[in-house]
Amino acid sequence: MKKILCVIISALFVLSAALFTGCAKDPAASSETTDEITTAPEDTEIKDDLPEVSFKGKTFRVILQEDSASDVFTEDHEIGEPLHDAVLQRNIKVCERFGIELDVSKDEYVAVNAAITRSVKAGSDEYDLCFVHMVSGASLAQSNLVLPFEKLPYVDLEKPWWDKDIWNGFSIRNNLMMVNGDISPRSFSITSCMYFNKTMFDRFDLEYPYDLVRSGEWTFDKLYELTKGMTRDEDGDGKVTADSGSSDIYCLTSWYLDVPYSFYYAAGGMLVSKDGDDVPYYNPDLERDTVIYKKIYDVIIGNNAYFETDIGNYMRVIGTFLEGRALFHDSTLNAAGTLREMDDEFGILPVPKLDTAQSDYRSFVNGASSMVCVPATVTSESQREFVSIITEALASEAYRTVTPVLKETYLKRKVTRDADSADMIDYIVRNRVFDMAYVNMHDGVGSYVRDLLKSGATDISSTLKKYQKTATKKIETIVKAFDKSMKS
């Protein structure tokens, strides 16, 4: 456990300013990254409306997963890496503003859940804010171990630094136990997206899809048109392979733990609905999901995409795209770091919509994402005020300080190779979606598209019917556990 001492030295801010001003001139970036970015910037001057109060050196205690260290960081000094230093600057600003110190501990995600459980059951009050694994951490809400955010008076979930769709995946009876948004830069980085090979687009005289995205016409039908006939046996040996050194090309490279989810949710799929009392129930739309699955099937199976079903072969998936042998690659934003070494030019896109009638591009969030929760040991009114003020401040300051650096530096200028891709990041990170079926029933119900694609199945009706009883019972169990925990 390590304290971040919030002593502000003027020279530190001078250095920070120099670092952030110099980001656009990163020598690792191509000359194209100096192009003007056309997306209208978000209003980072939105106020958080928090009271001006000093907590006179009080410690704010955070626990997080080791994989999510970038959400807070434990170093108390800058290291010259823009994202790290932006998070540090966020922390320092919040500490100075409210007169606090941050005390941060980290461990493996399973150990974090165990630590929270032990602390709450023992009534030891060890933590104020917790960053937990989305899927494994969801069980904390059903055991009276975390606090509903409705009991935190200064957390305003209507503000733009909180995910808009978070209620759908984590609220029961209008009690929201976990949240996410700008407060977690790592979570943003594991949001689904698509990469396309601009060099191959030029070779085949194809128009880049950026304007399709902006006009709302980037759909699965367009993706199907672009990928049809693109998987080719270039070396003439009678087969198409992803082996390193092969010259064969694919219309799309994808992994079975990414693309079934990113495509399904991007197309508007959702397996759990809510009634008027915000109680979830299993409610697959067979007609809608049949249309969605057929479009996914046509792109992945019908157009002979490279769909890898071996958990150990992800690097071959991204490697095929990196070698310039695939038109598209489905992955997450953090894959851009690996693709930095790619010789061909590439661009970033949101995953397509089902059709033009769909209002927004929707982005799936990988289950390894952090979720933010407050332990149930935060009981007194004064402690809840303290925790809610600092939590809201960390989120709002991240919106102003961290996210612009995350997008403009790490995702836009430092990695992507054109200004248009920079525009696309905003379409991706501001429309993230969460499904209670994926979060709470990851294996089986929440993964039915993955399992159908692995088997090459074309019909979904029998599978959705098969899960009806299992899913209904599981959701009833979750609701009962939730209700019991709320009464205790």
- The secondary structure of 214-273 as a DSSP string is HHT--BHHHHHHHHTT--B-SS-SSS----TT---BEEEEEETTTHHHHHHHHTT--SEE
What's the CATH fold of domain 192-364+435-487? D-Maltodextrin-Binding Protein; domain 2 (3.40.190)
Q: pLDDT of 349-364, one tens digit each?
A: 999 999 999 999 999 9
Question: Which position has the higher pLDDT, 294 or 486?
Answer: 294
- Is pLDDT at 395 greater than 50 in this prediction? yes
Q: How far apart are CA 80 and CA 147, in angstroms?
A: 37
Q: Poorest-confidence range of 61-75, 93-107, 325-339, 454-468?
A: 61-75
Q: CB-based contacts of 309: which residues, under 8 Å, 6+ apart?
A: 256, 454
pLDDT band per the 50, 70, 90 thresholds, residue 104:
very high
Q: Under the phi-then-psi rule, with left for phi > 0, alpha for psi from -120 to 50, and beta for the rest, what region is 80? A: left
Q: Which CATH class is domain 2-188+367-415?
A: alpha beta
Q: pLDDT of 148-178, one tens digit each?
A: 999 999 999 999 999 999 998 899 999 899 9
pLDDT on residue 236: 87
pLDDT on residue 76: 74
pLDDT on residue 21: 26
Q: Is residue 283 classed as helix, strand or coil in its secondary structure?
A: coil
The position carrying tokens 């709470």 is 440
Residue in 316, 307, 320, 314 with CA at minimum distance from that of residue 454: 307
pLDDT on residue 74: 64
Average pLDDT (262-285) is 93
Average pLDDT (286-310) is 96
pLDDT on residue 44: 62
Q: 214-234 b/e with 16+ CB inside 10 Å = b?
A: eeeebbbbbbbebbeebbeee
Q: pLDDT of 358-387, one tens digit each?
A: 999 999 999 889 999 999 999 999 999 999
Q: How far apart are CA 190 and CA 432, in angstroms?
A: 11
At 478, the amino acid letter reads I
Domain boundary assignment for the chain: 2-188+367-415, 192-364+435-487
Q: Is residue 458 classed as helix, strand or coil in its secondary structure?
A: coil
- Is pLDDT at 453 greater than 60 in this prediction? yes
Residue in 309, 331, 196, 295 with CA at minimum distance from that of residue 242: 309
Q: pLDDT of 59-68, one tens digit each?
A: 999 999 887 7
pLDDT on residue 180: 95
| Pair 299, 455: CB distance under 8 Å | no
- Distance (Å) of CA 191 to CA 56, 108, 336, 362: 38, 21, 12, 10
192-364+435-487 has the same fold as 2-188+367-415: yes
Helix ranges, 278-345 (H): 286-297, 314-322, 336-339
Q: Write the DSSP symbol of residue 213.
A: H
Residue 415: burial class (beta carbons within 10 Å; 0-12, 13-18, 19+):
buried
pLDDT on residue 60: 97
